[in-house]
Amino acid sequence: MAATPTSAAPQESGTAKSATPVLTARGLVKTYGRVVGLDGVDLDLYPGEVLAIIGDNGAGKSTLIKCLTGAEIPDAGTIELDGEEVRFRRPEDAKEHGIEAVYQNLAVSPALDVASNLFLGREVRKPGVMGSVFRQLDIKRMRERTRDELRRLGITTLQDVTVPIESLSGGQRQAVAVARAAAFGSKVVVLDEPTAALGVRESNQVLDLVKRLRDEGTPVILISHNMPQVFDVADRIHIQRLGRCAAIVTPQSHSRTDAVAIMTGAAEA
């Protein structure tokens, strides 16, 4: 069982073909008092790939993606986007650079309709006095764009974008959250346990969505505890252990059992 070195380019057998990463992290460190969240983590995300991050509870998965998406500021280390160093102080900074995240606790507004949720915080307004926050919302335009986005992503289960989110199933809500990330995540989409609260059918729909995003060229970082799903959808798998990257493997190079053994420390990478 030979793990791919952490700096290796993606396997040609995957869909990731370019050897130039979209997103690179080097030596990320994050501590919380005496607790070490990240202990010098490197990560590369290549165009058109799904990079899964797996690891036991407390391994640093969430902390890692929080640092990559501006939700946490690393104590040390660098992050580059398209080869340029970036420093995110808050999630808005990452969003401005085209990095969108969907976290476990879904940030949708239940009472608002699908289109309003897709454009939450980025509402399209009708022309008016420039700079005025009192310009009327362009609801028609937002609904049209929402329909276009759902169509682009092959989300067929959401026919009516005018219904409130609270009337939708868990899978449909998650699809809206992912669609929102996909609509604005021009560079990278990060999904933290997107299927955790979903049944099998709904999970499959979300995974299809992840594959679709990847196939359309948007690289996806996926945190998941669900090994079958990880091995189904990931091109490469970053195994996080005790705040460090223990190995990077692929579904071709390693079995699920191998990956879990590295994750738990039962096997060396």
Ligand X SMILES: Nc1ncnc2c1ncn2[C@@H]1O[C@H](COP(=O)(O)OP(=O)(O)OP(=O)(O)O)[C@@H](O)[C@H]1O
Q: According to the binding rule CB under 6 A, does residue 32 interact with ligand X?
A: yes
- Cα–Cα distances in Å, from 176 out to 102, 109, 128, 159, 189? 10, 11, 29, 12, 14
Query: What is the smallest separation between the CB atom of 31 and ligand X, expressed in angstroms?
Result: 8
Of 60, 70, 219, 251, the one binding ligand X (CB under 6 A) is 60
Q: According to the binding rule CB under 6 A, does residue 63 interact with ligand X?
A: yes
Cα–Cα distance measured from residue 98 to residue 189, given in angstroms and rounded to the nearest whole number? 8
Of 21, 43, 48, 61, the one binding ligand X (CB under 6 A) is 61
The neighbour count for residue 151, using CB atoms within 10 Å, is 10
Q: According to the binding rule CB under 6 A, does residue 154 interact with ligand X?
A: no
Of 6 and 157, nearer to ligand X (C-beta) is 6
Q: According to the binding rule CB under 6 A, does residue 37 interact with ligand X?
A: yes
Cα–Cα distance measured from residue 69 to residue 90, given in angstroms and rounded to the nearest whole number? 8
Query: What is the smallest separation between the CB atom of 57 and ligand X, expressed in angstroms?
Result: 3
Question: Residue 69: which of 176, 184, 230, 198 has the closest Cα?
Answer: 184
Binding region for ligand X (CB under 6 A) out of 4-12, 32-40, 131-139, 168-176: 32-40
Query: What is the smallest separation between the CB atom of 129 and ligand X, expressed in angstroms?
Result: 42
Binding region for ligand X (CB under 6 A) out of 11-19, 52-60, 141-149, 150-158: 52-60
Looking at 16-88, list the stretches that DSSP marks H as alpha helix, in order from N- to C-terminal side.
Answer: 61-68
Cα–Cα distance measured from residue 2 to residue 42, given in angstroms and rounded to the nearest whole number? 19
CA angle 216, 218, 220 (to 5 degrees): 125
Cα–Cα distance measured from residue 153 to residue 186, given in angstroms and rounded to the nearest whole number? 14
Q: According to the binding rule CB under 6 A, does residue 55 interact with ligand X?
A: yes
Cα–Cα distance measured from residue 98 to residue 92, given in angstroms and rounded to the nearest whole number? 10
Of 62 and 116, nearer to ligand X (C-beta) is 62
Q: According to the binding rule CB under 6 A, does residue 59 interact with ligand X?
A: yes
Query: What is the smallest separation between the CB atom of 60 and ligand X, expressed in angstroms?
Result: 4
Of 115 and 263, nearer to ligand X (C-beta) is 263
Site for ligand X in 156-215 (CB under 6 A): none
Cα–Cα distance measured from residue 218 to residue 138, given in angstroms and rounded to the nearest whole number? 28
Beta strand pairing call for 76-81 and 50-55: unpaired
Of 57, 105, 132, 136, the one binding ligand X (CB under 6 A) is 57
Of 8, 17, 58, 92, the one binding ligand X (CB under 6 A) is 58
Output Rg (C-alpha) for the chain, integer angstroms: 19
The burial of 243, by beta-carbon neighbours within 10 Å (0-12 exposed, 13-18 middle, 19 or more buried), is given as buried
Query: What is the smallest separation between the CB atom of 92 and ligand X, expressed in angstroms?
Result: 20
Q: Give how many residues touch ligand X by CB under 6 A.
A: 11
Contact residues for ligand X, defined by CB under 6 A: 32, 35, 37, 55, 57-63
